[in-house]
Structure 1
Amino acid sequence: MVDVLDNKRSATKFRVLVEIAERQPAVNQGEIAEAVGVTSQAVSEYIRELVDEDFVDKEARSRYRVTKQGVDWLFQQASDVRRFADHVTEDVLGSMQEDAAFATAGIEAGDTVSLSIEDGLLHATPGGGGPATGVATTDAEAGAVVGVTGFAGIIDLDPGEVTVFQVAPIRSGSPHGSKTLAEAARAADVVAAAGVEAVAVLRASDATPDVTFAAGEVAADAAGRGLDVVVVATTDLAGRVTDALRDAGLAYEVDDL
């Protein structure tokens, strides 16, 4: 079990430290008590404990700062909670929900099916021989949509490759085409653009973007489904793209045009 979820005291201690981090250095224990749902006396006791553990430094009366050790502990606990939440939503609840897939052959409701990702979309094949399986909830002919629930296993899928091309904003000069970009765009499954200049560079390279908004999120979702992605972004928007890719745990390359 995640440490901060082991018991109420651990969870409250975590929340008190979060409130201190958010309000530092001037810390009003009454406000923290109201936010967390405990008494001011309890908050005072938690703060003393956090100071003793070197998670918090007391600078003066009602003035506290979270130490580096405290920040590291918050990050660790927050990461553990996030992983636990992902497990609940994806592994536990995910197996209970119903999703749609394309049937690769005739399927009847109640059949066990093997699941796979093709062209970024979920496909169901009669039989349970694959690493990921489910149970059909509807009848479907080959090529039709079938409902699937009771998910088990993990779909064997390698993430797609992502290349981020950075282009200069308009203040640095007019966009121009690139042979390298043209070749990369033709080979990619998905081409995304972030910024007007990015769209202009793609057009000048005889390439058409599939999406022109939320490029980082789209790239992360597509690559997570096994698709190769090219993203063209202005230098001032490239950070948003790479942040989304890092948050999704995906590798990527960055090239300048």
Structure 2
Amino acid sequence: MDWDDFQAALFDLDGVITPTAEVHMRAWRDMFTAFLGARPEQAAYTDDDYFRYIDGKPRYDGVRSFLLSRGIMLPEGSGAAESSRETVSGLGNLKDEMFADTLQRDGVQAYPGSVALLDYLSDRPIVLGIVSSSRNAVNVLKAAGLLERFAFVVDGKVAAQQGLPGKPAPDTYLHAAGLAQASATTSVVVEDATSGVAAGRAGRFGLVVGVDRGAGADALTSAGADMVVTDLDQLIDTAQRTDDKERS
């Protein structure tokens, strides 16, 4: 790919820039395993459930999607202040508490390949932005020391404030392209979740890159990825990598 063809690069965060998708996965697994423990008639929660029903979606949408897969109906609850373990928002809030506790305790380091790509793009006239369903995106970027690398962050909080539907709808990415003063066709979407890839395809973005951190190359391609990589340093121009190696 030629980065000079694009004006904006829009990255998902968890699983693309930082390995926090693994922390999210553990939090979802622990939360739903405990929840299903009181329902022995239900099939146990697995990591496949995460990729099928939760990955990349806004938190409460992920709860709804998983519960629907098990035929479980719960009341919505009262939102961010809800603490009941028998409501959609209560379960989502519990998962968020588990994630925040882990982030504070363990911190986070970005993928080296992702940092390498950010370094490469820092010398190019391209606007970099984060588009994440998580409401923890800014805290994750601060913990990783990367917040200043991005011109803006469109996260779950921004989506709620702007009334934007979450992925797989394209609205958060289209909003980000507007902040970058770029069109969808001159913007790149970089995603590790099928829902995020589907959002990029629905928005008719110029290039949709799938990053296979576990979703599977076939699933990402089927969702609409134009290309699939396993690490972001594979998106660095080969000639540039050769020049850097010779200088070192």
State the TM-score bracket (shorter-chain normalisation).
under 0.3
TM-score with structure 1 length normalisation? 0.23
Of structures 1 and 2, the one scoring higher in RCO (CA 8 A, sep 6+) is 2
Structure index of larger Rg: 1
Higher share of residues assigned helix? 2
Higher strand content, 1 or 2:
1
TM-score by length of 2: 0.24
